[in-house]
Structure 1
Amino acid sequence: MKLHLVDPKTLTPEIFRVFGTQNALVAAGDQSGCNTMTVGWCQLGRLWNQPVCTVYVRPSRYTYSFMETRDYFTVSVLPASEKETMKLCGSRSGREIDKVKACGLTLCRGAGDAPFFDEAEWVLVCKKIYTQDLEPACVQDGTQILPYYESGDWHRAYTGRVVEAYTK
């Protein structure tokens, strides 16, 4: 494996640059099966005095069922050169295609058997500690937000405690 385990407190990802240009793959599952999808929305910080990562997944996505039934998820930030991988993982469903195989990704496992990818620049392995559906009634200024939900299908937020971090 090219990645090595590091203390999450020492990892300083460029979160605003990465999620504005490169995006990442969120993955969930175990030895019995897994799925991944491109994710462009992510938050890192501290909550309840723990390092956390929050990702957002729509119920219509195949990855949603893996997020719902597993305790761990991962965020793998791939190099900018992996645009085709990001495009395929964001546009094709795992119901129809094995995205890991189709993209030639090297599957690794972290805490809780959580899947991540050796091609990543850095990876966070997270144990779910909180989930909550985004709700239209909670939107304060919908001018920029509501267009994302013209067809409904509001995201569910998954907050996980960062239990492992990997980097090159």
Structure 2
Amino acid sequence: MKEINAEELKGNLIEMINKKWALVTAGDHEKANTMTVSWGSFGEFWSKPVITIYIRPQRYTKQFIDEQKEFSVCVLPEEYRKALTYCGRTSGKDVADKFAGAGLTLDFCGDVPVIKEAGITLICRKMCEGDIDPATFADPEEEAKVYPDKDYHRYYIAEIEKVLVPDEY
């Protein structure tokens, strides 16, 4: 793996999260958890490269992100699609080792938990967060479609501090 600048990321960044999905992993050396995300965005905020991710309040990984300043976003090669599905449907509260259940290896970049099998790893530091407020929806019909259970996402805007990619990237 080698480190590149966030601006050097190749390809369709929307597709990277929306179609390929990614794993958000947070915690520490004692306990960590991961979950699949398919909603997110890349951009610039406060003159820094950022990623924004969205997590529903009932997701177990949310508590790990809330407790830490940093987390990782890992994009896996297509052959890990089943692992991504497993991590999206299985809660770390319900299994002894979610990483092993998904056939993935928990690793660390410094103190930030990452997925060893990732093709692209983003090390992210939280900058800003907040709750989605349905009162701000431009189209109120979206609430019924996206939030029938009123479980509004929390958004996290995070600086992309480090990008790790394969040597041949």
Give runs of ≥4 in structure 1 deviating > 6 Å. Answer: none
Contact 2:41 2:51 in 1 (8 A): yes
Per the alignment, do residues 13 and 142 of structure 1 end up closer, same or farther by CA in structure 2, a change over 3 Å counting? farther
Is residue 72 from structure 1 mapped to residue 70 from structure 2 by the alignment?
A: yes
SS in 2 for 1:22: coil
Is residue 57 from structure 1 mapped to residue 55 from structure 2 by the alignment?
A: yes
The code of the aligned residue for 1:27 comes to T
Is residue 104 from structure 1 mapped to residue 120 from structure 2 by the alignment?
A: no
Per the alignment, do residues 107 and 5 of structure 1 end up closer, same or farther by CA in structure 2, a change over 3 Å counting? farther
What is the aligned partner in structure 1 of residue 121 from structure 2?
A: 123
Question: Structure 1: where are the runs of 5+ without partners?
Answer: none
Give distance in 2, aligned partners of 1:105 and 1:48. Answer: 34
Question: Structure 2: where are the runs of 5+ without partners?
Answer: none
Percent sequence identity over matched residues? 34
Task: Map 1:8-157 onto structure 2 (within 5 A).
Answer: 8-97=6-95, 98-111=97-110, 113-157=111-155
The code of the aligned residue for 2:108 comes to R
Contact 2:134 2:143 in 1 (8 A): no
Instruction: Report the more deviating stretch, 79-88 or 43-52.
Output: 79-88
SS in 1 for 2:100: helix
What is the aligned partner in structure 1 of residue 158 from structure 2?
A: 160
Q: Could you tell me the TM-score, scaled by structure 2's length?
A: 0.91
* TM-fit CA distance, 1:145: 4.7
Deviation per CA, 1:50-69: give whole Å up to 9, x if none.
11111011110000100111
Instruction: Report the more deviating stretch, 63-72 or 145-154.
Output: 145-154
* TM-fit CA distance, 1:13: 4.5
Per the alignment, do residues 167 and 114 of structure 1 end up closer, same or farther by CA in structure 2, a change over 3 Å counting? same
SS in 2 for 1:83: helix
